[in-house]
Structure 1
Amino acid sequence: MKQTLIKFSNRPLTDDETSLLAKGGNFSITPQTIPTEEGITNIEAEIEILPPGVKEEVCSESARIPRKPKLPKSNILRGEKEAIRSLNENEKIIILPFDKGNATVVMNTSDYRRNLVVCSKTTDLGFVESNKRGMKKPPNKMESSKKKTVITHIRRFPKYASHYSRKEFWNERQEEPVKESYYRFVFNTEFNVKFHKPYSDTCSRCDNFHNIIKHSKDLVLVNNTKRDLELHQRKAKKTNDAKKSDTEANKNSEDTVVICFDLQQQTLLTPLLSTSKVFYIHQL
């Protein structure tokens, strides 16, 4: 019966390798040595359990076995012997018996391992199972909900913005900073705004009223404060109008002199008192 060779490997085979593999997996190569000494020793060890008559007969037959029997003639060529060595040393190919018959299959080792993994993961319906690595929950792993609870609690801590760490503020907000020139370009081209000079020497009562209106949560207090602020501003407007009227009258009259000064300036103590409290308040 003619043997066949099925080749799936991209490695070329020599003529001797092809001839050797075509003999099939059932082909038996003649041995280079015959272990007669080992066989006789094993026989002598096993015949101890036999009856005396059978034991003597087996000993007689084993004595006829030649100690150095003549080796049979090799049934493969010299080139095929070299082919055995080269095939055994090559780790890129694997030699397997075919499912049916006495054929021999030669495959790439990488293809064989990949097909082996696919077959091991293929279900009875012919579908490949998904990778299940990492799906098992570690016994000591904390639940994600508890981690979120800890993160939420930590984010509630009051933060102190240091003057020296303000340059790292963009990193906290995960925003990439831009150059000052680009920021200025967008400000000048996309917006029609300008910076207002901060007020100085503002009225303390007005500041107090605005602070209450802006931050108080008591609606009754806010409404009363708005009314008081409006009355205070009306009085201030009336005073400014009187000052302007006196200034205009001074311009049109030669016998009228208008003098305007601030009695609350720290540089002028009016009225002039000798008590110590006035002195220390002046230092403030």
Structure 2
Amino acid sequence: MNWRLTDRTLELEQPLGAGIVNVTVDSMFEGARSGTPAQAVADGLALVEAGFEMLDVGAVAAKAGPPVTADDEAAALVPAIEGLARRSRGSFDTHEVQREPWDAGRVPISADTFSVEVARRALAAGAVAVNDIGGGSEEMFDLVAGTGCGYVLMHIEGPPRVDRPWREYGDVVDHLKAWFEGRVELARELGVAEEQIAIDPGLDFDLSPEQDLEILRRLGELRSLGRALYVSLSRKDFIGAVLAGSWEGRLPPSEREWGTVAAVALAVREGADVLRIHDRSSLQAMRIAGRIARPQRSVA
């Protein structure tokens, strides 16, 4: 499976780990909050040194909350992406980044945003893909078509950052197939090449824990859509609920690392191509699961 970005095509014979960089102070996992662009650059460097093959950089928490203006979001996101893409420490008047510069040409950066204007600025700053939790608007598809960037299309049933009751879908995987077919067709009509699109089932978004688990059990069925599968499950609420035995008593994100490891390994077995994850433990699980599930060359 291939995924075309602005400046390269990723050949996803083995799963790829996208390290999470949040230029926020309120993202759900406290251990992944980079409060400033300078800290985001430092944290991104650390993820690359740990072996992550991609960085996903965002500046607005996905959880419910008040609107954030494009200017405010871009003020945090764009300098972080620019600093990483240009591997430049001189952009920031800080001593926080102490590591040597790294080759940004080998590590693509995606901008985690559902704002078309912010996505435009992030791509100009050096991002080569947009990770859109907004479900894909015509304006976003126009931008993706015009720039040729990679695009993550996530399933959602309404505007992001708004709490909604879980929905009943009947067969949730059949629903996802139909939803993605419709959105991909619209994107194609607006000029987006299918190779630019990766699809994300949107675990935790408008889905109950049982629906999340059903999707992971049957993730391989989504491969019939012919697109790279992008799975974002790291430390999510459904993992905390399963570990605690109830939604109300779900464990906090800080206690979901090993549940995430298990979910990552099984997602790879079922066909996940890109895993958006926080931790090196999950990255190692992804790599071992990938080599077991998708035999390739010898490690010798």
TM-score range, shorter chain: under 0.3
What's the TM-score, normalizing by structure 1?
Answer: 0.14
* Structure of higher CA gyration radius: 1
- Which structure shows the higher helix fraction? 1
What's the TM-score, normalizing by structure 2?
Answer: 0.14
